[in-house]
Amino acid sequence: MDCIHVSNIRCYGYIGYLPEEKILGQWFTVDLSLWLDLSVSGQSDNIDDTFNYCEAIDRVKGIVSSNKFDLIEKLATAIADDLLNLENQSHQRPAIQKVGVRVIKSPPIPDFGGQVTIDITRENSKFA
């Protein structure tokens, strides 16, 4: 199976368990791995035969900016579910068979300057 990797999607959102995270917001970084069949687009060189990753970037930014989940686990799951449930409108482009989502944030925890990362992988039930 082939894979498109999209990394460092930076988005501002109001997601987190701590009250200040929902009020002040923070930056998130999202990385995606989209598994799908790229054999047709590899031969045709036609954007209609592949998944346009610009759409994935826009969808991720929309999900991060418009939700107020408590947990980044929920955010990662919402992103995965959204991408796996996209309808194949052109009937040419391949469906996403599996998606990996990595969400990274720097939580406002006293005396902690690091990051927290969640990695999930979900499969399209049509291909499982």
Domain limits of the chain? Answer: 2-123
Q: Which of 61, 68, 74, 98 is flagged as catalytic?
A: 98
Q: Is 126 a catalytic residue?
A: no
Q: Give pLDDT, residue 88.
A: 58
Please name the amino acid found at residue 103.
V
Taking the whole predicted model, whether its pTM rises above 0.85 is answered as yes
Q: Which CATH architecture has domain 2-123?
A: 2-Layer Sandwich (3.30)
Per-residue pLDDT in tens (0 to 9) along the chain, 128 residues: 899 999 999 999 999 999 999 999 999 999 999 999 999 999 999 998 999 999 999 999 999 999 999 999 999 999 999 999 986 555 567 889 999 999 999 998 899 999 999 999 999 988 76
